[in-house]
Amino acid sequence: MPSRKALSLLLVSVFLIPIISPSVAGEWSDDGWLTNLIGPERMENGDEFGCHGFEGIDTLEENWVIEACKEYLVSHTDSSRWGKDPISFGITGDYVDNQTALALVNSGFLITGDMIQNDPEGLAVFSRNGGSLEKNSANMELLESAEEDSLVSIWWRARVDDIKVREDKELMAWLEEQDVWFTTWGEWYFHEISSENIEVNTQENKIIFSNPQSSNSWDVPGSITLEIDGNIIEVNDGRGEQFPDLSITERKLKHGWRTYENGALFTIMPGSSVEVTIDDMPDEFSYSPLPTFNDLHHAITVVGHHTTNLFQWSSDYQESILTFTWLVERPSIEDINWSLPIIALSVLIAVPVIVKRIVEMDDLESVSYTHLTLPTKA
């Protein structure tokens, strides 16, 4: 007959088995937040959705996840307010081999990052040059010394191995107060191209800026400056309607115009034109593409890495003006471990039996003890 100690150990083991049983890796899940509520809100904020592959899969070793991630993303959301297809792909590591670079380009990706040290052919590399939004991890010296007309990328990840990463609220508040352009990887990339494409012509006392229809996958406006001695009487679009004004405080990309100290600046959509009427057309004037929207000092984007759950990744920033480049990663799903229901059933059966057995042993010992201590008759 088993001892009470042995039965007690067996009872403890029964309770521990469900706790220590490993989970089983399974197929892939979907992040419904990309489509429902959160995704549309982030799109309205000006965010971008790019790719980061599949959770737990090394993209450099398994290139198939590049196209698969793109298909997953476009089935849930557009990549940007400027275009449908994703163009940004995050790579973990510091090197992109030729085969991976070719797979990225063939899938329509144009940008990678953000710790890449080489220059893969056909791809622009954006570096993590703004530190992290993680609490107590900010590099303020780096952020305060950002070069003029540069793009600053700040790292963010909400969870690492089920551990929640705490955001730096003080850094967020500081960033939101800066006179900078809040943008994304793709928006910055195409704004530069669009700005370079703007054509300039004159007609009597008018200067006409034309931004040709883009053949790019995104239709992003471009910006140009005009330096001129004459006074601007009016600014109309190609249909003769008044071109919208830009506020000097505007920090997110939109079309429009405003004057500044040396003249005026214009942000124009592809496939459209702007007619600027001057009161007294001078013999000479100058113009140049504007690298940073609204002549702001530099641009900032927060890059959300390994975004498997958009709600968790963005929940701390619902009221923030900051603009994010979300590198979406298709989440894995844990298969049902069919051993657990069996274990649970075993527990339901075994526990009462073991407890009953221990009680019976206690009763037996009690009876034996009583028998041994009964007084004898004289």
Q: What is the pLDDT of residue 139?
A: 82
Mean pLDDT of 136-150: 90
284 pLDDT more than 50: yes
pTM for this entry: 0.82
Section 199-228 average pLDDT: 96
The sign of the CA dihedral 243, 248, 253, 259 is positive
Cβ(255)–Cβ(224) under 8 Å? no
CA geometry: angle at 198 spanning 193 and 201, to 5°?
A: 165
pLDDT digits (tens, 9 = 90+) for 326-360: 999 999 986 444 444 444 455 456 556 555 665 56
- pLDDT for res 348: 56
* Segment among 31-40, 137-146, 352-361, 363-372 with least mean pLDDT: 363-372
> What percent of the chain has a predicted confidence (pLDDT) above 70?
81
E-only strand ranges, 204-261: 206-211, 222-227, 232-237, 256-260
Q: Which of 111-125, 127-141, 287-301, 351-365 has the lowest mean pLDDT?
A: 351-365
- Rounded to an integer, the average pLDDT of 257-275 is 96
Cα–Cα distance, 211 to 78 (Å, whole number):
24
Q: Is pLDDT of 115 > 50? A: yes
Q: What separation in angstroms does the CA of 30 have from each of 91, 115, 330, 338?
A: 21, 27, 7, 22
State how far the Cα of 116 lies from the Cα of 285, in Å rounded to an integer: 42
Name the H helices within the chain: 4-20, 38-45, 64-74, 98-106, 140-144, 169-176, 185-197, 310-314, 339-373
* Distance between CA atoms of residues 89 and 79, nearest Å: 12
Pairs from 316-319 (Cβ < 8 Å, separation ≥ 24): 316/158, 316/167, 317/167, 317/172, 318/41
Q: What is the pLDDT of residue 337?
A: 45
Location of structure tokens 């709600």: 311
Quick check: 252 pLDDT over 90? yes
Give yes or no for residue 186 having a pLDDT over 60.
yes
Nearest of 339, 353, 367, 292 to residue 18 by alpha carbon: 339
Q: How confident is the model over 295-299, as a mean pLDDT? A: 97
**141 against 245, higher pLDDT:** 245
Contact status, residue 133 vs residue 171, Cβ threshold 8 Å: yes
The DSSP line for 277-332 is EESS--S--EEEE-SSGGG-S-EEEEEEEEES-HHHHHGGGTT----EEEEEEEPE
Please state, in angstroms and as integers, the Cα–Cα distance from residue 132 to each residue in 93, 138, 316, 325, following that order: 17, 5, 15, 14
Q: Is 181 exposed, middle or buried (0-12, 13-18, 19+ CB in 10 A)?
A: buried
Cα separation values, 212 from 193, 200, 219, 222, 270, Å: 11, 11, 11, 10, 5
pLDDT at 78 over 80: yes
pLDDT category, 5, cuts 50, 70, 90? low
* Mean per-residue pLDDT of the chain: 87
Segment 302-322 shows an average pLDDT of 96
pLDDT tens track for 10-59: 444 444 444 444 333 348 999 999 999 999 999 999 999 999 999 999 99
Give the pLDDT of residue 167.
94
- Predicted confidence (pLDDT) at residue 152 exceeds the cutoff of 80: yes
**CA–CA dist 3, 1 (Å, integer):** 6
With a CB cutoff of 8 Å and minimum separation 6, the contacts of 15 are 347
Mean pLDDT of 130-153: 92
- Return the number of other C-beta atoms located less than 10 Å from residue 85's C-beta: 16
The two three-digit tokens of residue 154, written as one number: 């700040």
Asked if 191 and 253 count as a contact pair (C-beta separation under 8 A), the reply is: yes
Question: Is residue 365 pLDDT above 90, yes or no?
Answer: no
Q: Is the peptide bond before 114 cis (omega within 30 degrees of 0)?
A: yes
| Separation in Å, CA 73 to CA 52, 195, 229, 237, 292 | 10, 28, 50, 35, 29
8 A C-beta contact, residue 154 and residue 300 = yes
Confidence class for position 138, pLDDT limits 50, 70, 90: confident
